[in-house]
Amino acid sequence: MFKKFSQLGQAFMLPIAILPVAGLLLGLGSALSNEAAISQFPFLAQSWLQATLTIMTMAGNTVFTNLPLIFSIGVAVGLADADKGTAGLSGGVAYLVFTGTISAFLELFADADASIDTGVLGALVIGLTVTFLHNRYRKIELPQFLGFFGGNRFIPIISALVAIVLGGIFFAIWPPIQNLLVVLGEHIAQMGSIGSFFYGFFLRLTGAVGLHHTIYPLFWYTSLGGVETVAGQSIDGAQNIYFAQLADPNYTGLFTYGTRFFAGRFATMMFGLPAATLGMYHAIPKENRKENAGFYFSSALTSFLTGITEPIEFSFLFAAPWLYVIHAFLDGVSFFVADILSIRIGNTFSGGLIDFLLFGPFQGNAQTNWIRVIPVGILWALVYYFIFKILVKKFQVAVPGMEVVTDKAKVNQKSQASNLHDNALDIINRLGSENNINNVTACATRLRVTVKDKSKVDKDGLKAMGATAVLEVQDGVQAVFGGKSNIYSAEINEILEDDQ
């Protein structure tokens, strides 16, 4: 089980590498283009600068909006035994069919306002399903009249069909899960400081699979986040109340108690997680640190400046889910501490330095108690650093730069035991050995091979193996194997790649 999680964590490394840059674009663009930032820094109102910030926001948001799709592809590519391009395509197609199926069910059988967002969990289910189908059936031989759809061409087809079934299952099971989170939020709102802990804990825990979007709007925009009168008007929701107080020139004293649903973020995002990246960096082998320093530094900077934590969290979430639970617990404690210390800092986007400055120091300590974040943050940095350094090193968590041993020998032995593998080896030999082969592709019925020396090709031998014809072309030969051509092409390329 540990090995499987390690492999899954490694599969996520490719899409995760995109996130730090996307996070900086989204975080900086969003934080510096909102009205609160412009009111503090009027020079930001310049049209060319706002246009630039808008482009940054949209560019970064595109990545995060499509994160489940990107992860579906990434998981399939990362866990495929071979022919990873087909696996990635199948993962993308399957996820689009999956979400399209859910949308169709909602349109046909649900209320107009109903919505289902399965987030990264849906992407993980699709990615793992496609990986299973790909590794098991990519060399399937179909009857001759269906031969064109055999081999790796079969994978996007079967993946799309299975995705329809999965979409129907999620349509049935997901609404009760979302409703359960709503009920949970209602109870949390009535629990005071302990409720602040549970809010932070469950918000972080559900954020791992994208379900946090079900929780925080309940507190930010509805009466669960409080009801207060500001400038003679009754206002619901923690963030609505906070911004009304911010806009009221006559408001004095500490900001709304509803800021307890924001203030706990800053210690974790500005201090804790950046320190965790340093801990992970020091936990990986020294010889791997230099090449991975860029990822760790950019992820820490993204969290510190903008409060976007996905690049850090996804680097260990699937490699060690138990470590993510510890992180979620610590984040809950951060919300609890901020509550009992009466830290009253709001936010627009997240809990990074930009929002901290705008809604903490710039509003004054009398209204925010922002200075209390500093000692708490320093303590949090130490806690996160040592926890992550010790646990990642002790359990060899497969974070970036931590070597993971895979048993390639067993995979190769299993492959060599198949008749398909033996036939592919025979074809390679009859083509003049691998040293004579430049490129191998296939169309519907023909194995297309470019070779260095056509005189070394054993045409009769290829015909003896089942080729109905062997044709010479300008740069090689074409062997007509019918529906098996595509399967042979994939297996030959896999053998050639393994021998390089």
Query: Which residues are catalytic, by number?
Result: 443
Cα 206 off chain centre by: 14
Q: Is 478 left (phi over 0), alpha (psi -120 to 50) or beta?
A: beta
5/7 Cα distance (integer angstroms): 5
Residue appearing with tokens 């207060």? 228
- Residues recorded for the chain: 500
Q: 442 - beta bridge partners?
A: 447
Residue appearing with tokens 């509803």? 258
383/121 Cα distance (integer angstroms): 29
Residue appearing with tokens 């925009």? 221
Among residues 219, 212, 332, the alpha carbon closest in space to that of 272 is found at 332
Taking a C-beta distance cutoff of 8 angstroms, is the pair 250, 233 a contact? no
* Three-state DSSP state, 448: strand
Among residues 479, 445, 499, 477, the alpha carbon closest in space to that of 151 is found at 445
Q: 439 - beta bridge partners?
A: 450
CA distances to 9, 223, 343, 365, 370 from 361, in Å: 39, 28, 12, 6, 6
Structure-token pair, residue 145: 């009249």
Structure-token pair, residue 31: 């934080």
* Three-state DSSP state, 483: helix
Q: 441 - beta bridge partners?
A: 448
Taking a C-beta distance cutoff of 8 angstroms, is the pair 224, 213 a contact? no
